[in-house]
Amino acid sequence: MNDSPDDRNGESSHRGGFGEFAGEATGLIDRSFREQIVLVAVRFPGSSTDQVEANLDELARLVDTAGADPIDRVIQKRDAPDPATYVGKGKASEIHATSEASDADTVVFDDELSPAQQFNLEKILKRTALDRTAVILDIFAQNATTLEGKAQVELAQLKYRLPRLRGRGDQLSQQGGGIGTRGPGETKLEVDRRRIQRRLAKLEKDLTGLRRTRKNQRKSRRRSRFHTVAIVGYTNAGKSTLLNHLTGAEVLVEDRLFATLDATTRRLPLPGGETVLITDTVGFIQRLPTGLVEAFKSTLEEVAEADLLLHVVDGSGSDPEAQMEAVRSVLREIGAGDVPEFTVFNKVDQLDDGGIDHLLRHHEGSLGVSARTGAGLDRLLSSIGDRLRSLTQIVELLIPWSRGDILAATHREGEVLLEQHEEHGTRIQARLDEVSQSLLSDFIVRDVSGRVG
């Protein structure tokens, strides 16, 4: 039987108030000391105990990254979430007893709680109740360094917090109808809501401007005719280490989740003589909060518009397959599901030969590397060049003798594979992208499949 919601005429103990806004994202976990955290997960039909334990292991890493210490964990088996308390009132009382016994400061749930569930739980637990989303937002708030990153995180945090505002019962209510029930002015709750909404509007306006700037930058890069490669992958898979090793970018590298949030783009020369633009992006994770995906839209658009995705996977991880699916789920969400993908298993220096062979055998066309030691990176660069060249079309051009400028443009625009001098001019087979084909369309006679131009 479902529990009925508790009476709400009380003040939530949830931290992260809205008295003043400083224009920066603020954390949901108190980092003035190492909080003691109890972790809670619910096993629903269709999930295994191993899966739930693995999810709690990842949640423990998230909590540690946020600056707190997980000291206990509780797992419950249910058919469906309880609408009022997620775990049911009886289980919530058990969690309260566990928290009291271990002197825990906060309880963190592995799934997202509704505002009502969070409020009801905090009344029973007598301490802060947070969910996985709040912890991830907290980590992002710590790691955002640029103005854009801070604005993106603050936007996601405020959207998360707004429905969780709680008043103090009737004394703050402005919902009365009739003479004598109207207050002298706005209540604190309404002032908080109005200020948050104004701040949200300003952040969205600022990010719209930044999005236009990024769009113009991408247009400029496209005009430069460089192919673009986006590094994607699960958080802490080694993306930034790989970018540093390939380009000397000096991006921050730490052995913790979401160490870097801001996209970094560098030029990368390939063995074939081409130069590409390679971008390191924010790491993904299972159940990445929708609000974060939306807030980081301008950054993630870099991924959707790339020519090739370099999907870096931690080959030494406990479940690479689950991490790969989590990444691909986000890619589909941001409209990058159809971008060509090149899977690279990183950290192979931590695997034996059998482990490497198993991964490569089950993922055709993948490659094993170690961004830390540099093993396999020469082959990786060659493979990137091959993949990008395979995305362009080979066409045949007949260029009159009088058009030396077109001959030079063909060499400049693409990769010339064959050049023959004939009676009426120079016949060339070249690999050209769509833009180059459009520029040289008057001189293209056919593509390699034999279609006449």
pLDDT tens for 362-384 read 999 999 999 989 999 999 999 99
Whether 147 and 295 share a structural domain? no
Helix (H) or strand (E) holding 410: helix 404-413
Query: Buried (b) or exposed (e) across 5-35, using 16+ Cβ within 10 A?
Result: ebeeeeebebebebeeeeeebbbbbbeeeeb
pLDDT of residue 168: 37
The residue that leads in pLDDT, 403 or 448, is 403
**Domain membership flag for residue 179:** no
Task: State whether 213 and 321 are in the same domain.
Answer: no
Among candidate residues 363, 390, 417, the one where a domain is terminated: 390
Residue 216: pLDDT above 80?
A: no
Statement: residue 115 has pLDDT above 80: yes
Query: Last residue of a domain, which of 175, 205, 223?
Result: 223
Q: In this structure, are residues 448 and 429 in contact, taking their beta carbons and an 8 Å threshold?
A: yes
pLDDT of 8 reads 37
CA dihedral 414, 416, 417, 423 (to 10 degrees): 140
Q: For the domain that residue 261 is a member of, what is the CATH number? A: 3.40.50.300
Q: Which amino acid is at 446?
A: R
380 and 239 housed in the same domain: yes
Q: Tell whether pTM > 0.85.
A: no
H helix count then E strand count, the chain: 14, 14
Last residue of a domain, one of 207, 223, 239: 223
The answer to whether residues 27 and 141 touch, using CB atoms and an 8 Å cutoff, is: yes
Q: What is the pLDDT of residue 284?
A: 86
Phi, psi of 85 (to 5 degrees): -130, 5
Render pLDDT for 193-205 as a digit per residue (tens, 0 to 9): 888 889 999 998 8
pLDDT band of 224, cuts 50, 70, 90: low
The verdict on 343 and 432 lying in the same domain is no
The first and second tokens of residue 152, run together, are 């993106």
Distance in angstroms (rounded) separating the CA atoms of residues 147 and 408 = 44
Alpha-carbon span 237 to 403, nearest angstrom:
51
Residues 246 and 256 in one domain: yes
Say yes or no: 130 and 232 in one domain: no
Q: Is residue 314 part of a domain?
A: yes
Q: Which residues contact 199 (CB under 8 A, 6 or more apart)?
A: 21, 154, 158
Which pLDDT does position 222 carry in this prediction? Answer: 60
CATH of the domain at 202: 3.40.50.11060
Per-residue CA distances from 420 to 397, 398, 425, 442 (Å): 10, 10, 9, 19
pLDDT score, position 28: 59
What digits encode the pLDDT tens for the residues 296-352? 776 777 788 889 999 999 998 888 998 999 999 989 988 898 999 999 999 999 988
Same domain, 320 and 442: no
Confidence band for 45, pLDDT divided at 50, 70 and 90? very high
Q: What CATH code is carried by the domain that includes residue 398?
A: 3.30.70
Residues 198 and 53 in one domain: yes
Judge if 215 and 228 occupy the same domain: no
Tokens found for residue 323? 């991490």
State how far the Cα of 174 lies from the Cα of 187, in Å rounded to an integer. 7
End-to-end CA distance of the chain: 72
Structurally, how many domains does the chain consist of? Answer: 3
Query: Does any domain span residue 96?
Result: yes
**Within a domain: 172:** no
Residue 161 belongs to some domain of the structure:
yes
Is residue 31 one of the residues assigned to a domain? Answer: yes
81 inside domain: yes
Together in a domain, 204 and 329: no
Could you report the per-residue pLDDT of 65-95, keeping only the tens digit for each? 888 999 999 999 999 999 999 999 999 999 9
- Using an 8 Å Cβ cutoff, are 29 and 135 in contact? yes
Based on the domain organization, do 210 and 333 belong to the same domain?
A: no
pLDDT for the residue numbered 259: 60
How high is the mean pLDDT of the chain?
81
The pLDDT value given to residue 190:
74
Domain coverage including residue 432: 393-447
List all residues 6 or more positions away from 443 whose beta carbon is below 8 Å from its beta carbon: 397, 398, 399, 403, 406, 410
Q: Is residue 123 part of a domain?
A: yes
Q: How far apart are CA 216 and CA 224, in angstroms?
A: 12
Provide DSSP, 60-104: HHHHHHHTEEEEEEEEEE-SS-BTTTBS-HHHHHHHHHHHHHHT-
Q: Residue 14, Cα to own-chain centre: how many angstroms?
A: 26
Does 154 lie in the same domain as 130?
Answer: yes
